Structure 1
Amino acid sequence: MKLNSRIVGDAGEYLVAYNLSRRGLAVALMNQGAQGVDMLVTNDGKDVVSVQVKSSQGRNQPRQWMVGKHQPSPSAHFFYVFCNIWEDESKEPEVFVVPSEEISKSVNWEANVPLFKIKDPKKEEKYLYGWEQITNLFSLSE
């Protein structure tokens, strides 16, 4: 079923929050309109990770997402999580966890619509369901 983009975005955020919560982390969703961050993640309130979620819906594997017009300030505690939510409801969503450093250096920020594209199969494998990139910052076991 084709969903409107707002619902797809919300579904992606809830999917990411669920996956991080089930790994023992506390997740706080930000208010609509918060600039550059969709959620804050912590295990004890001392350490915090910021997450920006980008979701898309389609019939195939786009492997590219719009990332906004402003280049992020790279940080070891800032991640983008890209969600492919399929029109075919029987398919489980795909989730790619990507450090902000990778986004900052690999996107053409001069483009009319800056896109992040996964071109390298090794990186795709690393990022696909790569929750450990976040959980390892908190010394939690998967």
Structure 2
Amino acid sequence: MAVRTGRRNWARIPVLFGALTAVVALCACGAPQTRQDGASRAGRAFGEALASGAYGAACALLAPESREQLEEDEKRPCERALPSQDLPRGEGASSVDVYGRQALLQVGYETLFLSQFDDGWRVTAAGCVPEGGDDPYRCALKGA
């Protein structure tokens, strides 16, 4: 099979490069909104699960380290430990900020922190209020 190197093939390169650039630009613009939506959905699902008493579902939305820390601190399984935590329940996020694979959701006067894992967004800290100083937040629930 012969390889052609004529002008006709070279003429397509700018068109192909332009199309590829447009696709990359469109994907890059949509990515932050997709992450914000994913973090918001996870935060809303966590609050709704707490509000309805579906503690198993709420525990499933915790990051592994946060769940382990809760169980270690309370000396009982997550589903039994979670009800005693002072966490916002069922309130929607008033704002969401995403920084790469980390998100901060404002829920009323409290803050919820999430991280994006391979299988979706998980809550890493909840019931957080601004504190100032070296520790900017005090959280009712957090990982190690």
TM (norm. structure 1) is 0.36
Larger of the two Rg values belongs to structure: 2
